[in-house]
Structure 1
């Protein structure tokens, strides 16, 4: 029909995504600390829900082919980032893309560093609170303790990772997480956001890569199971709490330190690459 407006494209082109990332980063770096704190606590809890869903998928996973079980776990874990990006929350790992706003000169280094640091701390509080809530709710007893057994396996594996392995795994994980966030910046509807979030998140989880905020709930939840589960849990599962000695404060922060560093590097790589490709001043 003559004069009719042409339909909007299904997604923003890459250059527009970069501009969106820069604008969003500037706004995030300028958030007042009470607002950022509340939204970051929510993000930690949301990722924790994704982690619990992942553990449910892993309960009894030994009866499935390894790859299928891991892919299933990755798909359901996507719930966490969907809640963050569609519901609205502040996630440390995704917020490493603030590097784009800093490179553009739209946010100073100190505000970016403050926003990332506060998000990390508040993500931790939200994640641990969610893990405690789930433990008190006896979520670990689902499947006659199968979920709790999966929590122990996951927490122990993460607690035993070497520094270099955890760091490299953190880099790779946050490349995929930030790509999911980046693609969501280009989506024009909630349904589109969900569609683009799931594949990268499912991939990082299925590959066994390390995400600091996910580990803020997965390792403490396994720790709570090991030290707080009643005798009935150990009888039903046939497990020995003494066999999971790696889970604890040392294992938690021995994981979070290198994984957090790796996550920052991964996020900066994604944001920096797209800034160079689309936003770098001409002639530089």
Structure 2
């Protein structure tokens, strides 16, 4: 599994940038669709006596996004942090690593915004008498209430689980194996309220769009007051959420999973000379 993870990281960082960009677009879209599923599962959840139930359900259905990423070979920034393993082995340069991260990050954002536009134009946010849009607004608002340190730490915890899910997925030999390996770690991070940078690229921009453009009929039907979302702004999102969460995702996935396991299998348990394969080094 460790070798498979490193080989996959090497292939991503040395592949064609256009391929990474296009696969990044799909990954951003798939994660956004996972959040669409999550939002739908949360409509009316505030009226449920056992509040943990809807969160667990939301986590399970959100996992659809990462399942699609894994099964289709899409490139997701959070799992691409594992390319640190290939850099640690000297198989890629820092330039290749950062170039891949930048390409995938931008593509993920554009892919997520594409689904934002489609969901908005489709009017999905009006569903359940504005209840669907209310979930988006309240979830987006909550994400901007964290301090920088809290957002960073929640990002660490999130990508710890995402990269564990991807790592475990390398053990699967069938589609069913991979789905089962991925689903529960993802359900855990969503149910616990951890922060995923790419997922937030969908949720918060959609919340911002609804806040700025919704008519009086939406606010009336949803039972919401637009003034209560005054701090839901682009600067707050980019500086107080997306930036610290992204940094936390890098630490949680790239270091706490990627480098941690790389250290175990390259130093604590070195492969025998007979089994060690020759690999290109940058």
- TM-score normalised over the length of structure 1: 0.91
Shift of 1:282: 4.0
Q: Unmatched 5+ residue regions in structure 1? A: 1-16
Counterpart in 1 of 2:265?
A: 278
Mean CA deviation greater in 274-283 or 122-131? 274-283
Cα distance in 1, alignment partners of residues 124 and 223 from structure 2: 18
Map residues 108-119 of structure 1 onto 2, 5 A cutoff.
108-119=93-104
Counterpart in 2 of 1:260?
A: 246
Counterpart in 2 of 1:57?
A: 41
How many residue pairs align between the two structures?
267
Shift of 1:186: 1.2
Q: Unmatched 5+ residue regions in structure 2? A: 272-282
Q: What is the Cα-based RMSD across aligned positions, in Å?
A: 1.3
Shift of 1:160: 2.0
Cα distance in 2, alignment partners of residues 275 and 219 from structure 1: 34
Shift of 1:42: 0.8
Verify: 1:37 aligned to 2:1, yes or no: no
Map residues 101-250 of structure 1 onto 2, 5 A cutoff.
101-250=86-235
Residues 41 and 126 in structure 1, CA contact (< 8 A), matched pair in contact too:
yes
Shift of 1:259: 0.2
Question: What's the secondary structure of 2:85's corresponding residue?
Answer: helix
Counterpart in 2 of 1:48?
A: 32
Verify: 1:78 aligned to 2:63, yes or no: yes
Map residues 93-104 of structure 1 onto 2, 5 A cutoff.
93-104=78-89
Cα distance in 2, alignment partners of residues 282 and 216 from structure 1: 40
- TM-score normalised over the length of structure 2: 0.92
Cα distance in 2, alignment partners of residues 86 and 246 from structure 1: 38
Shift of 1:251: 2.1
Shift of 1:159: 1.6
